[in-house]
Amino acid sequence: MKTTLPQSIAVSNFVSEAASVSAASPQKRRTWAHTEGLPLPLGVTWIEEDQAFNFAVCAEHAESVKLFLYSPTDLAKPVLTFQFDPIRNKSGRIWHCRIPLDQMCDARYYGYSVSGQAVAGLRGFDHEKVLLDPYAKRVFFPPGFDRKRAMKPGPNDEKAPLGVLPRQLAAFDWAEDLPPRPESDAIVYELHVKGFTKNPNSGVHPSRAGTYAGLIEKIPYLKDLGITVVELMPIFQRDPHEGDYWGYMPLNFFAPHAQYASSVDDDGQHLEFKNMVKALHKAGIFVVLDVVYNHTCEGDHVGPTYSFKGFDAAGYYMRSSDPPSPYANYSGTGNTLNFSQPHVRKMVMDSLRYWKEEMHIDGFRFDLASVFSRNADGSLNWGDAPIFSEIAADPELGRLALIAEPWDVGGYQLGRGFPGTTWLQWNARYRDDVRRFVRGDAGMVPDLMRRIYGSDDLFPDSREHAYHAFQTVNYIDCHDGFTLYDLVSYNQKHNWKNNHDNQDGMDANYSWNCGHEGEESAPPEVLALRRKQAKNFVCLLMLSNGIPMFRAGDEFLNTQFGNNNPYNQDNEISWLDWSELKANQDIFRFFKGMIAFRKSHPSLCRSRFWREDISWYGTGPTVDLSPQSRSLAFCLHGASQGDDDIYVMINAYWQALQFQIQEGAPQDWIRIVDTDLPSPNDFSECGLPLQQSIYQVAPRSIVVLVRARQGTTLS
């Protein structure tokens, strides 16, 4: 029986089927990779030996895929269209091809078109849409870029974001870029790249204000303050038309946000970002990125189709069982990436490796990290969610600083409930308990003791669990909520300018306005109390076991005017007001002093819990744990760490209390801190010797004493 092979599907005619063979001048045999392309690595890759680009994209359920290459002079009509042949250009879920440079004309940008069977309600495949490569390292927004067009079915030529073909540039000179490794001296400073220097009063040159380069100009300030870790709010490329100031709506996981670069060149943001990281490292500052892998800016079924939806909505996103809302929404933003899918996990792993290897990032803070634990049906995997073991097994990623926000919308895994057992975690219990104690809530003394000690109730160091005290990232505030000054100035949120009728943002702020709402017409005694309360907060933060974090501007009482959710406020509400630094030099001095004090006493931040080195007291020899109590004291003995002893007296009551110092003779101790005193007496670098063993601690005040370790004297 005669059989015939099926005719192969036609592809663009610029790829020859075979090389001619000449006996006189034999030619090199063309490889399969040269003819068909390779499925890995994903994205676009320059192949030097072939003088060609390899393109690879994951679209499991696609039936047809086209690649478009565009010239900068014509973004409507591609200079080249390649129709992928599933027989020759597909391996598993991945479509791939290789295109020689000499056949690409003057192409600079690229995009895709994908078609397939529609999944009810998802609004995914649309063959008329030009799609952005999920692995694009640079994103180009054409002059006619239109978010609204992406939200409707039909073509978006000249209006869609495009990938940028990589140029052959000289390797970046990292010199001897050895990232610092802070331990007991870790001080985490959360900042927004644009908001940090955008205000005209930042002192940064106007051409660099609000950029990566602008941040470099502020490194001396960070060094002076004592910062050892900067945690950058999201810098992934996002939709510039969405109104997402914070950056928590990513369009892409590989490209740095181009709008934070002072250069308009396609490659400018990469060079500027690398220079920023290099400069921070040279200054001894560790760099952590706040990364958002739990969702994208494509939103729900009525949101725009830029990339993931068009390639495979059912493969990239979790689905719900509710037809009117077909996308599961554990992020609170309309969609949730599906981490039960191997290609989604691979994308995240590849992104992390890229930022580590190419950009020299030292660590990552994962937004809404409980999404990583979600099974395909939305249930939480409390055991061994795959991506955690994949990260741990990676020889490079497993050694980085990995910090979780251990919850999402509907799931809360703080402490040992979080599957990343070696990760650090943002400790929201610390935030809430310390806020409640400082504002004077009853019954908070036992909780405060737990938080100061290192939250061993959440991170037990038992033989079974073996957590470390440094795994708690302690914070009073962060980008999400009141600033430190607003925390002591407002009882209620004031979010009207966000245009959500003041319904957005947290209601449970545990704040106290010290007797007057807001700044306008606040009496002097209220303003003085607010300054003291701010000092009390930073004092407790710097005296607690664990890693301390605070938000940029707290050190000079920056305000957002009571707005606790300014995610869409790209203006003076969110930009740091550097005039406050001059106005509040006393608070800046106190912050700086407390940071230096902590860094000079490694006994405070330990790998392990304090155990027998801590003695707890009250105003007398025992702690008053009754609901009415609002005071306590403790002595942290530093001999085991080669450190001094530290005695702390804490009074959150509204009347003065007399504390009997329970250890040593009065002359053994010197006073370093009394938050009730005006500057510069509130923090003394040299200290003031005590004259008696009774110390009257003023209302809502904290006092810190130091006793030199045996055989040494305090200078």
Using CA atoms, how far apart are residues 576 and 535, in angstroms rounded to an integer? 20
CB 475 within 8 A of CB 550: yes
Q: Is 673 helix (H, G, I), strand (E, B) or coil?
A: strand
Which residues are 279's β-sheet partners?
none
| From 36, 126, 266, 367, the catalytic residue | 367
What residue type is assigned to position 551 of the chain? R
Distance CA 505, CA 595 (A): 30
Q: What angle do CA 171, 174, 175 make, to 5 degrees?
A: 115
Long-range contacts of the stretch 212-215 (C-beta < 8 A, 24+): 212/256, 212/260, 212/261, 212/262, 212/269, 212/272, 212/273, 212/275, 212/276, 213/261, 213/262, 213/272, 213/275, 213/276, 214/262, 215/191, 215/276
Angle at which helix 342-357 crosses helix 308-316, to 10 degrees, equals 120
Neighbouring residues of 287: CB distance < 8 A, sequence distance ≥ 6: 179, 229, 230, 232, 277, 280, 281, 360, 361, 362, 363
Place of tokens 């591609």: 78
CA angle in degrees (0–180, nearest 5) for 260-264-267: 85
Where does residue 49 rank: exposed (0-12), middle (13-18), buried (19+ CB within 10 A)? exposed
SS3 373: helix
Residue 367 annotated in active site: yes
> What is the C-alpha separation between 697 and 680, in angstroms, rounded?
18
Largest Cα–Cα distance of the chain, in whole Å? 111
Backbone angles phi, psi at 505, to 5 degrees: 85, 160
Please check whether residue 68 is in contact with residue 110, taking contact to mean a CB–CB distance below 8 angstroms.
Answer: yes
Q: Please state whether 216 falls in left (phi above 0), alpha (psi between -120 and 50) or beta.
A: alpha
Catalytic residue among 36, 239, 266, 405: 405
* 501 in catalytic set: no
Q: Which residues contact 650 (CB under 8 A, 6 or more apart)?
A: 448, 540, 631, 632, 633, 697, 702
> How many other C-beta atoms are found inside a 10 Å radius of the C-beta of residue 350?
17
10 Å Cβ neighbour count for 289? 24
Q: Please tell me the distance from the alpha carbon of residue 542 to that of residue 536, in angstroms, as a whole number.
A: 10
Residue 601 vs residues 10, 542, 708: alpha-carbon distances, Å: 72, 10, 11
For 100-159, the DSSP string reads EGGGSTT--EEEEEEEEPPPTTT----TTS-B--TT-SSEE--TT--HHHHTSSS--TTT
Catalytic site residues? 367, 405
